Structure 1
Amino acid sequence: MSTDVHAPCAGVAAGTAFLSGPGPVVDFGPGAVARIPAHLAALSARRVLVVTDPGLRAAGVVDAVVGPLAASGAVVEVFDAVRGNPTVAVVEQGAEHARALGLDAVLALGGGSSLDAAKGIALLAPSPGARADGSGVTPAAGLPLVAVPTTAGTGAETNGFGVLEDPANRQKVYCGDASVVPRVALLDPELTLGLPASATAATGVDALVHGIESLASRGRDPMSEAFAAEAVRRAWVWLPVAVADGSDPRARAEMLVAAHLAGQALTRSGLGLVHGLAHALSLHTGAVHGPALAAVLPEVVAWSLDADPAGWGRAAEAAGLRGPAALPDALGGLLEQVDTRVSVADLGAAPDDREALARTALADPVSRNAPRHPASVAELVELLARC
């Protein structure tokens, strides 16, 4: 992947190399959920584990998917133990469940937490002794996976890794493999129509930040830039519309596409310090991912502007702004518009917590892609004091 393209209007240097691997087949459109049985049949999947959360089961979304799947002749088991910020323990529990029942495919249904957990479950299920934290035996190829997002946020349907929590060690674990890249990403905007405004905003902010950070990532390449710029362009326009009117079918469709494009971008480029700090906030305070991103986004971008004017300039251009200097204030305004403008204190982080947050963020591999690195823990503590 290309790195450190910092010159304004930089092109692709003669020596720049990047590699693009295969991704999922994308099935997009209202009513696409009806095609799930056909997609699984094409994979010769007859015994399927549906990985989801209890909220979707209570809302009837799981039944709407499982009913037609069972009617097609498939044996279906539902694992709905996934909560926000899924843990290594939940993934290992789900993998053992799939292994014990001899299941041959996984259907991920839900937001990013369910999709991330499903990828870990699909990877570990065929390999007794493999662990979600990377210890134990080396896992073999995982079970085939079909991903059905019900939020427009993480873009987790685009890649084969999941972000899990290891509460005992207070760290994020990246669990995955190329073998569990979803075979099909089924994007049905009708599944997102019932999402409340607060959840629409929180997940939509995640999609927007994926696009913005991908454009300034040290790992960006021409393909990731193209995906990320289009994701930012769509999310900037349509996120406020989707939050204001959750029944607007075009807004829902545009945001689902934006989230997917941003996922394609981050899969190639990696992210940065905004995500590193948000992960730390989730680990130390239990904060939900979207608000955690919102708490640090404008200040981290402002602090990083001079390190990569070209990358931030592309983000500003995609948002319809005059230049990168306008980006921090414009981001703050957008967060206020969708009612997600919060501080780290609002999320439960006290001043005494800042050093621990800084150390956790600096240890997170995602922070390495940031265009500017803190010179010390103290510098990052100072930045957190402004968030």
Structure 2
Amino acid sequence: MSGPVTTSPCAGVAAGTFLSGAGPVVDFGPGAVARIPDHLAGLGARRILVVTDAGLRAAGVVDAVTGPLSASGVGAEVFDAVRGNPTVTVVEQGGEHARALGVDAVLALGGGSSLDAAKGIALLAPSPGARADGSGATPAAGLPVVAVPTTAGTGAETNGFGVLEDLDTRQKVYCGDASVVPRVAVLDPELTYGLPAGPTAATGVDALVHGLESLASRGRDPMSEAFAAEAVRRAWAWLPAAVAHGQETERSGARLDGTARRARAEMLVAAHLAGQALTRSGLGLVHGFAHALSLHTGAVHGLALAAVLPEVVAWQLDAEPAGWGRAAEAAGLPGAAALPDALAAVLETVGTRVTVADLGARPEQHEALARTALADPVTRNTPRHPGSVAELVALLERC
């Protein structure tokens, strides 16, 4: 998400003004999915579209959610065409499908891709002439959304915008509106218990980076700082344990001891808090590069973040010592200078210490990657703004 752009950092309440809007009602706890029918009843929703991916449907997660809906008399249709890095085409198809079915709410179920796509679908469904890339008719208010994340990563349940890919222009598109901010976010850690180590690490790195970049963003305010600092504190402490539980899941099935349960719950909360932060602050160049890598190489978002994270943070330390110092404090480090090496160590621990070359980015692609990152709206929030494409190419060569 790009978030707001301000002309100067808000280092304290006296440094500027800020406006903090309402977010979703949060229903957190093991077994929270059982309360989804109650939330939909509160919205007056009797016919819904479940937006998800085929993998969750095959794994039985969709049935675990739609079963209680059917028992309560709610009609549920499933749209499972979402893939990683959702496209504007899929969102427009989903909008047409929702419109044809005449649904009165959207249930977003899955990782960030499904949640982002669901918000776009909910926005387009009532407005036949609107397009996911912002062209066409101005959309009317979207359908109500209930969001049920199954990964602890994007925090997409906190806001009304989704990041989509436009494959024709090879650009990221930000699609959404305040009307599709989820009315309810159902945070059930039990839905994350079976996630293997790789996806646990990749999504967890996303949550951690959301917190880190929010603390240094030009758009930060006291509210975003509070959410972001707590997100970093929890993710730093619990991501390695959650990944270790994922490794056990792959070897012998989920071992639901107390530490594993807590790690999954803590990471789900951390991701949500980080989402609350980035919605207010915006992010920065780490995400700008990651979006470019995903577009040009198809890289998994969390791994794309990991490929550039220590180097980009090191490049920006002097531009925002207060923000990075706050991040270091949340991580329990002695100061901002310790962040790059500590981040590299964390990435190594959770198995995501990769390079851009590992993700398939060839040297001759670096200029195109740099141009895409520089053009991404998210980069405008970064504390040290690149002066040229050549400066970003030089930075990429160190990643």
Please, what TM-score do these two structures have when normalized by structure 2? 0.95
SS of the residue corresponding to residue 249 of structure 1 reads helix
SS of the residue corresponding to residue 209 of structure 1 reads helix
Partner of 2:267: 255
Which structure 1 residue ranges, 5 or more long, are not aligned?
none
| Distance in 2 separating the partners of 1:11 and 1:72 | 48
**Cα distance per residue 1:76-112 (max 9 Å; x no partner):** 1000000000000000000000000111100000000
Identity over aligned residues, as a percent?
A: 85
Letter of the 1:119 counterpart = K
Partner of 1:28: 28
Shift in Å, 1:11:
3.3
Contact 1:108 1:115 in 2 (8 A): yes
Shift in Å, 1:12:
2.4
Shift in Å, 1:59:
0.4
**Cα distance per residue 1:33-82 (max 9 Å; x no partner):** 00001100110001100000001000000001011101111111000000
| Distance in 1 separating the partners of 2:328 and 2:24 | 29
| Match among 269, 272, 288 for residue 300 of structure 2 | 288
**Cα distance per residue 1:104-154 (max 9 Å; x no partner):** 100000000000000000000000010000001000000000000000000
SS of the residue corresponding to residue 78 of structure 1 reads strand
Partner of 1:197: 197
1:339 aligns to 2:351 (yes or no): yes
SS of the residue corresponding to residue 326 of structure 1 reads helix
Contact 1:165 1:172 in 2 (8 A): yes
Letter of the 2:223 counterpart = M
Shift in Å, 1:374:
1.0
| Distance in 2 separating the partners of 1:199 and 1:4 | 36
**Cα distance per residue 1:144-176 (max 9 Å; x no partner):** 000000000000000000000001100000000
Partner of 2:48: 48
1:315 aligns to 2:319 (yes or no): no
**Cα distance per residue 1:223-275 (max 9 Å; x no partner):** 00000000000000000000012341000000000000000000000000000
1:156 aligns to 2:156 (yes or no): yes
| Distance in 2 separating the partners of 1:190 and 1:318 | 27
| Match among 350, 373, 380 for residue 392 of structure 2 | 380
SS of the residue corresponding to residue 13 of structure 2 reads coil
Matches within 5 A, 1:230-241: 230-241=230-241
Partner of 1:364: 376
Letter of the 1:213 counterpart = E
Partner of 2:228: 228
| Distance in 1 separating the partners of 2:137 and 2:187 | 34
Partner of 1:271: 283
Partner of 1:183: 183
Partner of 2:8: 4
| Distance in 1 separating the partners of 2:245 and 2:284 | 31
| Match among 338, 343, 351 for residue 326 of structure 1 | 338
Letter of the 2:54 counterpart = P
| Distance in 2 separating the partners of 1:45 and 1:184 | 13
* Count of equivalent residues: 383
Shift in Å, 1:5:
3.6
SS of the residue corresponding to residue 27 of structure 2 reads strand
SS of the residue corresponding to residue 19 of structure 2 reads coil
| Distance in 2 separating the partners of 1:40 and 1:381 | 49
SS of the residue corresponding to residue 356 of structure 1 reads helix
SS of the residue corresponding to residue 36 of structure 1 reads helix
| Distance in 1 separating the partners of 2:315 and 2:8 | 17
Letter of the 1:4 counterpart = S
| Distance in 2 separating the partners of 1:188 and 1:83 | 22
SS of the residue corresponding to residue 304 of structure 2 reads helix
SS of the residue corresponding to residue 360 of structure 2 reads coil
Partner of 1:17: 17
Partner of 2:121: 121
Contact 1:3 1:221 in 2 (8 A): no
Contact 1:3 1:220 in 2 (8 A): no
| Distance in 2 separating the partners of 1:94 and 1:79 | 7
Partner of 1:146: 146
Shift in Å, 1:3:
5.6
Letter of the 1:211 counterpart = G
Letter of the 1:63 counterpart = D
Contact 1:200 1:242 in 2 (8 A): yes
Which structure 2 residue ranges, 5 or more long, are not aligned?
247-255
SS of the residue corresponding to residue 164 of structure 2 reads strand
| Distance in 1 separating the partners of 2:7 and 2:244 | 38
**Cα distance per residue 1:291-343 (max 9 Å; x no partner):** 00000000000000000000000000000000000000000000000000000
| Distance in 2 separating the partners of 1:123 and 1:374 | 34
Shift in Å, 1:24:
0.2
Shift in Å, 1:373:
1.0
Please give the root-mean-square deviation of Cα atoms over the aligned residues, in Å: 1.0
SS of the residue corresponding to residue 245 of structure 1 reads helix
SS of the residue corresponding to residue 77 of structure 2 reads strand
Partner of 1:70: 70
